[in-house]
Structure 1
Amino acid sequence: MNQENSNPNWKTNLLIVGAIGGALLGAGTAYLLARSAESNRGGPPEISTRDMLSTGIAVIGVIRGIASLGDGK
């Protein structure tokens, strides 16, 4: 059975769910970062370039893992 014909709007639905999920995840992450920085430092966080780079690489790995879910293997 061809699933593409059963729901022609599956791509749009997937993009909407992904956008909302990403926004919620990003807002939650920002909240946790702000709460942690406020309780530990009393002000805005100081994030080093090294920390941002390592976090960026980890995020790219997660994105690649999520993208590979569509391979069906």
Structure 2
Amino acid sequence: MEADGNASWKQTALILGGVIGALLGVGMAYMLVRQAEENENRMQFGTGEGVRLGIILADLFRQVARLGEGPD
């Protein structure tokens, strides 16, 4: 069984990460919708854009995972 202090920081990190991720996701979606409205177009993603976005997100996740590793 984990000590309460150990579980507490983990729970805080998960909740904080979830809230920040949700806020960033809503903010980015808002910017995309606003840009589409300004250009009077529907937002459309092609296959290439989807692949690029997936690669960028995978790299971002890898970088976030490395935050706790300490100095190189």
Segments of structure 2 that go 5 or more residues without pairing to the other structure are none
Establish whether residue 39 from structure 1 lines up as the match of residue 17 from structure 2: no
Segments of structure 1 that go 5 or more residues without pairing to the other structure are none
Greater CA drift, 43-52 or 9-18: 43-52
Instruction: State the TM-score, normalizing by the size of structure 2.
Output: 0.85
User: Superposition RMSD on alpha carbons, in Å?
Assistant: 1.5
Structure 1 segments of 4 or more deviating over 2 A?
A: 5-8
Identity %: 38
Q: Which residue of 2 aligns with 1:11?
A: 10
Instruction: State the TM-score, normalizing by the size of structure 1.
Output: 0.84
Query: By how many angstroms is 1:46 displaced?
Result: 1.1
Query: By how many angstroms is 1:70 displaced?
Result: 1.1
